[in-house]
C-alpha cells in the first residue's frame, strides 16, 4: 500500500526548469529570429542580416551593426532575467524598447548550441562566448566588426520532444519570412537582408517613406491602390494604409498592426477595422490594414504574454472610436468620387453601362455613405437592378423556365423537387423557386462552384486558353514561397504559369472551362485563394490538386452577379447533373428546401 506520508513535491534542477521555461519564448525557429531581430533593433542597428539553413533547424545567424556589448555584458546577457531595459518593476509601464524581460537569449542558449560575438564601437577587438544547452563552453577575445553576431545551431538538440513537433522545412520557412516581412514594414529606417540556404531571397534598403518600404515587401499593384490615413491628437498619433473595398483580400494576412513600432495582435484594432467596413465587404473578403499607433507607454500593457505579441490598452474604447472615425472618414473621401459618378449616370440607358460602371453602382449600399446619400438610394433602386445580356426580368412577375432546356426528371431525382416556378433573385445571391411543397432557395454562387468543380474533376485533360498578353502577378515573398512548390500541379489543371522573377509569377494561359470576363481579376483571386488555403492548412485531408481546383472555382465565381433567365436555367440544369449537388466544394450547402408547413408554423398558422 502506498505510503501517504511520503514526500512528492520536489524542486526541479536548473537543467530541467530552464529548458521548460525556454519553451514559453522559443517554440519555433521564427521565435528565435524574432527575439534576435528585436535585440538588434533595440541596439540601434540600421543594418540587420538574417541567415538560415534548413529553415532554421540547423542554423540561424543574425548579424547587426548596433552598439554592441562588452565581454561582461555578453556573459550576463545569457543569464536568466538579465536585462538592460528595466531596473524596477514600475519601468515596465514606461517601456520604449521591444525587449525588456531578459528571457530571450537565456531561453535560446538553453535549447541550442550558440556562439555570440560582440564589439563596442570604441573597442579595438570584440568578445566571443560559446554556450551549449545553457552551459558556458568558452570565452575569448577576437577580431570583429562593430555590433553583434549571434549564431544558433541545432535548435532543440537537447529537447527531442520539442524538435519532433516542429513542422516541415517549408512551413517553418514561411513563418520565418512572415516575421521578417513584419519587422521590415515596421522599421523602414533599417536595411534588411535575408538569406536561406545561402541564397539571398529578400532585401530592403533603408528609406524614410513607408510607401516605398511597402512596395519592397508587399505586392506593388496592391500598394499603389492603398488609401493613406493619419491622425494626431494629444493622446495618440496613428497613421497607415487601408484598402478600397474592391481589393479586399481572401484572408487577414495583410492586417498588420504596430503599437509604438511593436508588431502586435489586437482584437480591438481588428474589430475596429471590420466595423469600419461594416455592410460594405463582400462575403468572405477581408480589408487590408497596415496600422501604426504611437501612444504613451503608460497607456498600454505589453506584459500580457511571454512573446509580448498581445497588448492591452488602458482605454480600449478610446482607441477603437478614434481609429474607427479616422478610417471611416478616409473611406468616405475615397468613395465620394464613386458617388458623384453614380448620380451622373442615373439618366443613362441601362444597356450602355459597362461591367466596370455596374460594379461602381453596386457600391451604393455602403453604410459609409448612408447619411449623405439616402435620397439618392431611394430614387435609384430600379437603376441599380441591371441585367446581363439576355432576358430582362420585370418586377412583380413570375417566370416559367424553358422545359426544353431543363430535365425535370434529373431535377426530381437529384435535387428532390419538381414543377417549380422561378420567382427571382434574393440579394443577387439566392434563386427563389416556388414548388408544390413550399419554397426552394439555391445559393447561386455555391451551386456554380459545385458545377465548375465537377467539370474540373471529370475532364482528364483540361485544355488551355492562351492569353493574348501574358500577365505578371507580383507577390510578397512569403506568399511566393508558399505557392512555389505547387506550380507544377497548377499547370496540370489547365493553367500555364512560370516563375518570372524573384517573387512573381507569369501567367500565359488559364483553363478553357473557366468563363470569365476579367482575366486579371480571376487570376488574382485564384492566387489569393490558393495561398490562403495553403497557409491556413485548410482541409489537410484534401489533395493539393483538389485544393488548387477549389481555389480556381472560387475565383471564377464573383459575388452579386445578376442572372438572366438563361443563366438560371443553366445553373439548375447543370446542378441537377452533378454527382454531389447539395454542397459546394468547400462544404457550404447549395440548396435549402423550406416546406410550406414549416413556413406556416413560422406565421403561427400551424401548431
In a domain? residue 389? no
pLDDT over 90 at 156, yes or no: yes
Last residue of a domain, one of 202, 227, 260: 202
Q: Are residues 228 and 140 in the same domain?
A: no
Q: b vs e for 377-405, b when ≥16 Cβ sit within 10 Å of the residue's Cβ?
A: eeebeebbebbeeeeebeeeeeeebeeee
401-444 residue pLDDT tens: 555 555 566 677 778 777 788 898 888 889 999 988 889 999 98
Last residue of a domain, one of 202, 223, 245: 202
- The confidence score (pLDDT) of residue 535 equals 73
In a domain? residue 421? yes
Domain encompassing residue 461: 396-607
In a domain? residue 353? no
Q: Are residues 470 and 601 in the same domain?
A: yes
Residue 484 to residue 51: CA distance in whole angstroms: 20
Number of domains into which the chain is organized: 3
DSSP output for 542-603:
S-HHHHHHHHHHHHH--TTPPPPHHHHHHHHHHHTTSSSTTB-TTS-BSEEEEEHHHHHHHT
Q: How confident is the model at residue 388 (pLDDT cuts 50, 70, 90)?
A: very low
CATH number at residue 153: 3.30.565.10
505-558 residue pLDDT tens: 999 999 988 878 788 888 988 998 888 888 776 445 457 888 888 888 888 776
Percent above pLDDT 70 for the chain? 76
Q: Are residues 156 and 238 in the same domain?
A: no
Q: Are residues 49 and 184 in the same domain?
A: yes
Q: How confident is the model at residue 106 (pLDDT cuts 50, 70, 90)?
A: confident
Q: Are residues 185 and 219 in the same domain?
A: no
In a domain? residue 390? no
Residues 229/241, Cβ–Cβ less than 8 Å? yes
- The confidence score (pLDDT) of residue 94 equals 61
DSSP output for 77-108:
HTSTT--SS-SSGGGGGS--SS--SS-HHHHH
Tell me which DSSP letter residue 118 carries.
E
292-323 residue pLDDT tens: 999 988 888 776 666 677 888 889 999 999 99
321-376 residue pLDDT tens: 999 999 999 988 887 544 443 344 333 333 333 333 333 333 333 333 343 334 33
- The confidence score (pLDDT) of residue 394 equals 46
In a domain? residue 500? yes
Residue 509 to residue 588: CA distance in whole angstroms: 29
Q: Are residues 419 and 504 in the same domain?
A: yes
Residue with the bigger pLDDT between 280 and 455: it is 455
CATH number at residue 232: 3.30.230.10
Strand partners, 104: none
- The confidence score (pLDDT) of residue 606 equals 75
Q: Are residues 63 and 161 in the same domain?
A: yes
Q: Residues 170-198: what's their mean pLDDT?
A: 95
In a domain? residue 406? yes
Longest dimension (CA), the chain: 94
Please, what is the Cα angle at 511 between 510 and 513, to 5 degrees?
140
Residue with the bigger pLDDT between 53 and 543: it is 53
Q: Which helix (H) or strand (E) holds 443?
A: strand 438-443
Residue 44 to residue 64: CA distance in whole angstroms: 9
- The confidence score (pLDDT) of residue 340 equals 45
Secondary structure class of 604 (helix, strand, coil): coil
| 514 contacts: CB under 8 Å, gap ≥ 6 | 452, 465, 494, 522, 552, 556
Q: Are residues 258 and 402 in the same domain?
A: no
Q: Residues 86-91: what's their mean pLDDT?
A: 54
In a domain? residue 372? no
Indicate the average pLDDT of the chain. 80
**Residue 42's CB: how many other CB atoms inside 10 A?**
17
| 264 contacts: CB under 8 Å, gap ≥ 6 | 257, 258, 309, 310, 311
Residue with the bigger pLDDT between 339 and 473: it is 473
Cα→Cα distances 444→426, 447, 471, 585, 598, Å:
10, 5, 29, 14, 23
pLDDT over 60 at 206, yes or no: yes
Residue 172 to residue 28: CA distance in whole angstroms: 8
pLDDT over 50 at 275, yes or no: yes
Residue with the bigger pLDDT between 190 and 311: it is 190
Q: Which of the residue ranges 94-108, 187-201, 312-326 would you say has the lowest mean pLDDT?
A: 94-108
pLDDT over 70 at 89, yes or no: no
Last residue of a domain, one of 308, 333, 358: 333
CATH number at residue 530: 3.30.1370.100
In a domain? residue 377? no
Q: Are residues 231 and 102 in the same domain?
A: no
Q: Are residues 138 and 227 in the same domain?
A: no
- The confidence score (pLDDT) of residue 605 equals 81
Residue with the bigger pLDDT between 123 and 501: it is 123
Q: Are residues 311 and 435 in the same domain?
A: no
241-268 residue pLDDT tens: 999 888 888 888 899 999 999 999 888 9
Q: Are residues 402 and 328 in the same domain?
A: no
Amino acid at each position: 500500500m502506498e505510503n501517504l506520508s511520503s514526500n512528492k513535491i520536489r524542486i526541479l534542477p536548473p537543467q530541467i526548469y530552464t529548458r521548460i521555461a525556454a519553451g514559453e519564448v522559443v517554440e519555433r525557429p521564427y521565435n528565435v529570429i524574432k527575439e534576435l531581430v528585436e535585440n538588434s533593433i533595440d541596439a540601434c542597428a540600421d543594418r540587420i542580416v538574417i541567415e538560415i539553413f534548413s529553415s532554421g533547424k540547423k542554423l540561424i545567424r543574425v548579424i547587426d551593426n548596433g552598439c554592441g556589448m562588452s565581454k561582461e555584458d555578453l556573459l550576463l546577457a545569457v543569464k536568466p532575467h538579465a536585462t538592460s531595459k528595466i531596473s524596477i518593476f514600475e519601468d515596465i509601464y514606461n517601456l520604449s524598447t521591444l525587449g525588456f524581460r531578459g528571457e530571450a537569449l537565456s531561453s535560446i542558449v538553453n535549447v541550442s548550441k550558440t556562439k555570440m560575438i560582440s564589439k563596442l564601437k570604441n573597442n579595438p577587438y570584440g568578445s566571443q562566448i560559446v554556450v551549449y544547452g545553457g552551459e558556458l563552453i568558452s570565452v575569448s577575445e577576437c577580431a570583429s566588426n562593430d555590433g553583434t553576431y549571434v549564431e544558433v545551431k541545432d535548435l532543440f538538440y537537447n529537447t527531442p520532444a520539442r524538435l519532433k513537433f516542429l513542422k516541415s522545412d517549408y512551413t517553418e520557412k514561411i513563418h520565418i519570412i512572415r516575421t521578417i516581412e513584419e519587422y521590415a514594414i515596421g522599421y523602414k529606417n533599417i536595411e534588411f537582408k535575408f538569406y536561406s540556404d545561402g541564397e539571398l531571397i529578400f532585401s530592403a534598403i533603408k528609406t524614410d517613406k513607408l510607401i516605398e518600404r511597402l512596395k519592397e515587401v508587399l505586392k506593388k499593384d496592391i500598394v499603389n491602390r492603398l488609401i493613406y490615413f493619419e491622425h494626431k491628437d494629444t493622446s495618440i498619433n496613428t497613421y497607415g494604409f487601408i484598402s478600397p473595398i474592391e481589393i479586399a483580400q481572401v484572408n487577414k494576412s495583410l492586417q498588420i498592426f504596430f503599437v509604438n513600432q511593436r508588431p502586435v495582435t489586437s482584437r480591438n484594432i481588428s474589430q475596429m477595422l471590420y466595423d469600419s467596413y461594416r455592410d460594405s465587404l463582400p462575403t468572405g473578403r477581408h480589408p487590408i490594414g497596415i496600422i501604426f499607433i504611437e501612444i504613451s507607454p503608460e497607456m498600454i500593457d505589453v506584459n500580457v504574454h511571454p512573446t509580448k505579441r498581445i497588448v492591452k490598452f488602458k482605454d480600449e474604447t478610446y482607441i477603437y472610436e478614434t481609429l474607427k472615425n479616422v478610417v471611416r472618414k478616409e473611406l468616405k473621401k475615397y468613395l465620394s468620387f464613386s458617388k458623384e459618378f453614380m448620380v451622373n449616370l442615373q439618366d443613362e440607358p441601362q444597356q450602355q453601362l459597362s461591367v466596370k460602371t455596374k460594379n461602381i453602382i453596386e457600391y451604393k449600399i455602403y453604410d459609409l455613405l448612408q447619411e449623405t446619400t439616402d435620397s439618392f438610394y431611394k430614387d435609384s433602386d430600379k437603376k441599380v437592378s441591371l441585367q446581363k445580356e439576355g432576358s430582362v426580368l420585370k418586377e412583380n412577375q413570375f417566370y416559367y423556365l424553358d422545359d426544353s432546356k431543363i430535365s425535370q426528371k434529373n431535377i426530381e431525382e437529384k435535387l428532390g423537387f419538381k414543377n417549380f416556378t422561378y420567382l427571382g433573385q434574393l440579394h443577387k445571391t439566392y434563386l427563389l423557386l416556388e414548388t408544390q411543397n413550399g419554397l426552394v432557395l439555391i445559393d447561386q454562387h455555391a451551386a456554380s462552384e459545385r458545377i465548375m468543380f465537377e467539370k474540373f474533376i471529370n475532364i482528364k485533360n483540361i485544355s488551355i486558353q492562351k492569353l493574348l498578353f501574358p500577365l505578371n502577378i507580383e507577390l510578397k515573398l512569403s506568399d511566393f514561397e508558399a505557392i512555389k512548390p505547387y506550380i507544377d500541379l497548377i499547370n496540370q489543371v489547365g493553367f500555364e504559369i512560370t516563375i518570372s522573377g524573384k517573387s512573381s509569377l507569369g501567367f500565359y494561359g488559364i483553363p478553357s472551362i473557366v468563363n470569365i470576363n476579367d482575366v486579371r481579376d480571376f487570376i488574382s483571386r485564384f492566387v489569393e485563394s490558393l495561398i490562403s488555403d495553403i497557409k491556413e492548412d485548410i482541409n489537410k485531408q484534401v489533395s493539393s490538386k483538389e485544393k488548387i481546383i477549389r481555389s480556381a472555382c472560387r475565383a471564377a465565381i464573383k459575388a452579386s452577379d445578376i442572372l438572366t433567365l438563361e443563366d438560371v436555367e443553366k445553373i439548375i440544369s447543370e446542378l441537377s447533373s452533378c454527382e454531389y449537388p447539395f454542397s459546394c466544394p468547400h462544404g457550404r450547402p447549395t440548396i435549402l428546401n423550406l416546406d410550406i408547413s414549416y413556413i406556416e408554423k413560422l406565421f403561427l398558422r400551424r401548431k
